[in-house]
Amino acid sequence: MPNEMGLGVTPGQQAAEIVAGLRAKLNMTAEAQALVIAAGGQVVEKIFEPKVLVVASKFVAARGVIFSELIEREVSTKPTGTVVEMAAGYSPRGIQMARKLPHIHFVEIDLPGVVDEKLSRLQAANITIPPNIEWQRADLGVTTLAQVLDQRQVTVTTAEGLMPYFTFTDIERIAHYACESLASGGLFVCDVGWGQSLRDQPDD
């Protein structure tokens, strides 16, 4: 994706903008609309055929609902807990769930540039930030999750849309680090590209 479209300089940043554009097609909440830039919305209409755009938008929206349901099911009846979202991108879920579940602490992790841009957009749109959410700036390809969390044990860790970018070996490594930071009985939620994971899986 050309940089002049305003979608960031790395493939990850560009993908985050495209997903935000897809999400905003069906998610009309103030948070979702605040987190998509005009270029993001324009690009998804240019790179997807109209019918494909509808399907892609519905897929992104449905995936988000599934993640939210799994998180809420896990923590809603607990007196306290911590939910961590790796590579949170421009998802509005953290803020929305923090508002809905004030007894749960939410932590979003992403690259410094993504976090700073996300907070800037939320501030520009006058979105109220709940007190029970925090952002951590880190490259999880360089720093382990345990280091980012300062060895905190958490209730739920999610990685929405992250694993399909990696080989099966890398997926195992990321999942291992995620599970290391879970408290006893904790939950790790992610989505994996089925075909890719089978293709990359070692024969033994």
**pLDDT: is 115 or 10 the higher one?**
115
Phi, psi of 84, rounded to the nearest 5 degrees: -115, 130
pLDDT classification of 186: cutoffs 50, 70, 90: very high
pTM (whole model) above 0.75: yes
Strand, coil or helix: 151? coil
Tell me what pLDDT residue 198 has: 47
Joined together, the tokens standing for residue 101 give 């579940």
Rounded Cα–Cα distance for residues 162 and 142 (Å) = 15
Nearest C-alpha neighbor of 134 from the set 102, 162, 101, 105:
105
Rounded Cα–Cα distance for residues 145 and 57 (Å) = 30
Per the CB < 8 A criterion, the answer to whether 99 and 77 are in contact is: no
Residue 196 has pLDDT above 70, yes or no: no
